[in-house]
Amino acid sequence: MKALIFDCDGVLADTERDGHRVAFNQVFAENSVAFEWTDSAYQQALKVGGGKERLRALLSPDFTTRHDLPNDAAELEALIASWHRRKTQLYVDLLDSGAVRPRSGVRRLSCEALEQGWRLAVASTSAHASVRAVLNRAMGAELAEQFSVFAGDDVQRKKPAPDIYLLALKQLGVRASDTVVVEDSAIGIQAARAAGITAVIATPSTYTIHEDLSAAAIVVSELGDAGVSTHCAGTNVIGNLIHDVVEQRHLQALLEIGVAPEEASNHADNK
């Protein structure tokens, strides 16, 4: 049994800037907090995996004092949970409005993998409701039902810890060596590799375009669709096979090589 596991935000759709960030800012406004996550500030905030964790990092003693928020630890945790629930509601509404478009190739590649008997899953630090909303938007309701979802609610430690991927491997009943992951961030790649998964495809998103994603087995601009071609960063044996779009056969080739990125480059040099 083989599995294709996608990250959610930035991979299925470029959701962070026009989805999560906007929803967080609406929550701040609703609660009369004179603060807004700008593009650049939110890009930095994304170095912390998980929405509640991101809020926790923001709500420092200085921040809570300036904005007249509770300093008591229990009250602050309750506030974070409440704000995050509201953010999720607003985020789902944004997705339902069509404000966020799916990325190219995610649906096509999922269909190809499913036809070959692969298991499909999403492993994300976001809440279940948020992940399901993006999944339905990107795949359509019928295909989305074929996916197992592993979300931030399911594990204590978020990416870059490997917990979400270890859980996915266990629940799907697949080996790390039979699994391909699609990620868009350095912390996501780190999480997958820490779980023993070396077949990682990186598709940089708006906020991760300048991150070092070289730990992935291959980095492509998009998975690609008709009219939306991909291009590969660097050269290795798999990159040399890809023309226009990433296909299911490329996933299989990644598993057959079964090596780390630097070894894949050497593999290509020796051909």
pLDDT tens sequence across 165-186? 999 999 999 999 999 999 999 9
Three-class DSSP category at 252: helix
Name the catalytic one among 7, 14, 163, 184: 7
The class that CATH gives domain 3-14+101-269 is: alpha beta
pLDDT tens sequence across 223-256? 999 777 777 665 555 666 677 899 999 999 999 8
Q: Is-catalytic flag, 244?
A: no
Torsion region of 81: left, alpha or beta (phi above 0 gives left; psi -120 to 50 gives alpha):
alpha
Q: Is-catalytic flag, 7?
A: yes
What is the architecture of the domain spanning 16-96?
Orthogonal Bundle (1.10)
Torsion region of 256: left, alpha or beta (phi above 0 gives left; psi -120 to 50 gives alpha):
alpha
pLDDT tens sequence across 87-144? 999 999 999 898 889 999 999 999 999 999 999 999 999 989 999 999 999 999 999 9
Give CA torsion, residues 40, 44, 48, 50, to 10 deg.
10
Query: Can you give the residue ranges of every domain in the chain?
Result: 3-14+101-269, 16-96
The residue among 26, 29, 18 whose CA lies nearest residue 95 is 18
